[in-house]
Amino acid sequence: MQDQATTPDATLRAMQAIVGERACLSGDTDTQAYVTDYRRIYHGRARVVVMPSSTEQVSRVLQWCYANNVPVVPQGGNTSLMGGAVPDDSGTAVVVNLSRMNRVLAIDTINDTMTVQAGVTLSAARSAAEAEQRLFPLRIGSEGSCQIGGNLSTNAGGTAVLRYGNMRDLVLGIEAVLPDGRIYSSQRGLRKDNTGYDLKHLFIGAEGTLGIITGAVLKLMPQPRSSAVAFVAVDSPAAAVRLLGEAKHLSGQAVTAFELISQPALELVLEYLGNVAAPLPARHDWMVLIELTSGTDAESLNATLMEILESGFEQKLVVDAAVAASLSDAQTFWRIREEISDAQTRTGGSIKCDVSVPLSRIAAFVEEASAKVLALEPAARMVIYGHMGDGNVHFNPLRPKDQTAKAFLAQWYEPISSLVDAMAHAENGSISAEHGIGVVKRDDLTRYKSAVELELMWQVKQALDPRNLLNPGKVLPARGH
Ligand code: MLT
Ligand code: ZN
C-alpha cells in the first residue's frame, strides 16, 4: 500500500519548488492531454504533470516522490499504443513529461555518435544527424511526436529494423534516473566495453518501470547516397517471403524496408487519405513496399531493383509492380504505408495484434491465422501490414463496415486477440513484437512468459524499484497472478 500522507497541494508546491511554477500542470483540464493515451482508450488522472528541464531536476523530483511514496509515470511523446505512458485513474501519480529536455547536446562526426536529451523528438534527432551528413536510422510513423527516451524505453522498431536493427541496436549508452533519484550513466560513446553487466539494456524496453531515461548516446550511420522504392503486388505472403530472399541475394545489404500490405489495409488507408491514388491499377490481395538504399549511385541501385522485380516476375512471385520514378512517388508510397495506423484509429474497432514469428514461418502464420479469424467473423476486414522483412506483422482484424466498434470489440476482442497471440506463441513467436506491453498486454504475460522469466523480471524490478513507484501497473503482471 502506498502511504499518501502528502496532499495534492503539497505535491504541487514541492514540484513547483523544483521545476518552477510554469513547468507544473494540475487540474483535470490542464492535465487532460497528458493523462489520455494516444488511441484515446485510457483516461487517467494525475496529481501533477511536471516538466523538468534537466537531469538534475528529474533526480530531485524522483527523490521527493521516493521519500513520500508517490508513484511516478514517465512520459515522452505519449504515442504508446499500449497505454504505457499514462497514469491510472486514481489521481495519485506524478507524470514526469520529458518534452522540455529537448536538446541535441553533441554530435561527434569522428566517433559517429550523437548525444541527446531524452525529450528530443525522433524527427529532430534525424534532422540533426542529417545536418551533419549522417543518418540516424530509426524510422516510425510517429517520428514527429515520439521522443528518443520513449523510443528507448519501448525499444522501438519500425520500418528499417531489417537493415539497422531496433532502438537497442542503435544506442551506445544512456543516462537514467533511478526511483530514489540516483543517476546512472553510461554515456561514453564506446563501441566496446566488456566490463561486467551491460546495465543500459535493463532500462531499454522496460517502459519506464525501472528508471527514467534522461539522455542517450546514439549511433550514427553513413547517409545513403541513393534509394529505390517499389510498390509490388505479390502472389501470396509466401511469394513475398521468397521475393525478400531474392532481394537479399541480389542486393546484399541494400534491402532497408520490406513492408507487407493486405488489400483491406490498402483500401482503408486510401479511403482515409481521400486524394491519393492506388499505386497499382488492379486490385491485389497482397502487396509489399520495398526500399533499397545504398552508398552507390542511383543508376546501379535502380538496376538492382529492376533485377529483383524481373526475377520475381519470372518466378511468378510478382504480379505487378510500380517503381517510384521520383522522390514524390516514393513519398506517396510511404505515406500510404505509414498512415494505415491512423486510418485504423480514425475508423475504430480494430483488434491490434503486433506479433512476430521466425521469418520462415511468417507466411504460413498470416494465412492460417487469417483463415481462423475469418471462420469466426467472415465479414472482418483483415487489415494486415507491417514489417514482414523482420518477421513482424501488425495483424489487426477490423470491424465489418456495418458493425459498430463497440459491438465488434465487445464480441471479438478477447477471442480473436487470444487466438492470434496463441498461434504466434505456438510458432515460437512473440505476442508483442515492437509495441511493448503497457497495460494492454500485461496480464497476458502470465500465459506467454515462463515462470523463470517472470520471476527474473520481478527480481529485477524489486532490486531497482523496491517500492514499486515507477510506472506502477505497467509491464509486470501481479506476482502470483
Ligand atoms: C506501424 O508500423 O505503423 C506502427 O507500428 C503503428 C501501428 O501498427 O499501429
Ligand atoms: Zn510497426
Q: Residue 344 above 80 pLDDT?
A: yes
Q: What is the pLDDT of residue 1?
A: 42
For cell 520500418, name the residue: 159
Q: How far is the CA of 128 from the centre of ligand 2 (A)?
A: 24
Question: Between the CA of residue 311 and those of 43, 244, 263, 377, 417, what are the distances in Å?
Answer: 51, 11, 23, 38, 37
DSSP-based three-state secondary structure for 35: helix
Q: What is the pLDDT of residue 252?
A: 87
Average confidence (pLDDT) over 87-114? 98
Ligand 1 atom nearest residue 157's Cα: 5
The region, left, alpha or beta by phi > 0 then psi within -120 to 50, assigned to residue 390 is alpha
Ligand 1 atom nearest residue 394's Cα: 8
Q: Which residue has a Cα nearest atom 9 of ligand 1?
A: 341
Q: Using a cut of 0.85, tell me whether the model's pTM lies above it.
A: yes
Pairing of strands 226-234, 318-323: antiparallel
Q: Which residue has a Cα nearest atom 5 of ligand 1?
A: 158
Pocket of ligand 1 (CB under 6 A): 81, 141, 340-341, 386, 394
The string of DSSP letters for 199-248 reads THHHHTTSTTSS-EEEEEEEE-EEPPSEEEEEEEEES-HHHHHHHHHHHH
Query: Is residue 394 a contact partner of residue 345, using CB atoms and an 8 Å limit?
Result: no
Q: What is the pLDDT of residue 2?
A: 45
Q: How far is the CA of 294 from the centre of ligand 1 (A)?
A: 25
Q: What is the pLDDT of residue 480?
A: 73
Ligand 1 atom nearest residue 341's Cα: 9
Mean residue pLDDT of the chain comes to 97
Q: Residue 386 above 70 pLDDT?
A: yes
List, in order, residues 6 or more apart from 352 with CB less than 8 Å away: 81, 344, 394, 396, 435
Q: Residue 3 above 70 pLDDT?
A: no
Q: What is the pLDDT of residues 133-177, one digit of tens each?
A: 999 999 999 999 999 999 999 999 999 999 999 999 999 999 999
Q: Residue 5 above 80 pLDDT?
A: no
φ, ψ at 217 (rounded to 5°)? -105, 115
Q: Which of 40, 354, 384 has the most ligand 1 atoms within 8 A of CB, as the residue to mutate?
A: 354
* Interatomic CA distance for residues 112 and 292, integer angstroms: 23
Q: How far is the CA of 341 from the centre of ligand 1 (A)?
A: 5
Q: How far is the CA of 185 from the centre of ligand 2 (A)?
A: 30
Q: How far is the CA of 92 from the centre of ligand 2 (A)?
A: 32
Q: Which residue has a Cα nearest atom 7 of ligand 1?
A: 341
Q: How far is the CA of 242 from the centre of ligand 1 (A)?
A: 24
